Homo-oligomer: A and B are copies of this chain.
Amino acid sequence: MTMTEIRYIVTGMSCGHCVASITEEVCEVSGVSEVSVDLPSNEVTVRGATLDDEQVRAAITEAGYSVTGVV
């Protein structure tokens, strides 16, 4: 099974609490199997068998952050 990966640039993440909030929301999206957040680069990397970009973006917004682009 192929793994898809999308790397989002997200603004407003500043600490471990932010990482936890985003990880929690995005993990709940169907198809997502892995979420990793890198604070210094503002990157949220999402992996899964099938990724719905729109749903992932909605989850990040729901957590209170803004997607400003993809890498």
Q: Could you tell me which residues of chain A, from 14 to 49, have a CB within 8 Å of some CB in chain B?
A: 14-15, 17-18, 21
Contacts of A15 in B (CB 8 A): 12, 14-15, 17-18
Q: What is the number of residues of chain A that contact chain B, defined by CB distance less than 8 Å?
A: 6
Contacts of A12 in B (CB 8 A): 15
Contacts of A17 in B (CB 8 A): 15, 17-18, 21
A16 to chain B, nearest CB (A): 8
User: Which chain B residue has the least Cβ–Cβ distance from A39?
Assistant: B14
**Interface pairs (9), CB distance under 8 Å:** A12-B15, A14-B14, A14-B15, A15-B15, A15-B17, A15-B18, A17-B17, A17-B18, A17-B21
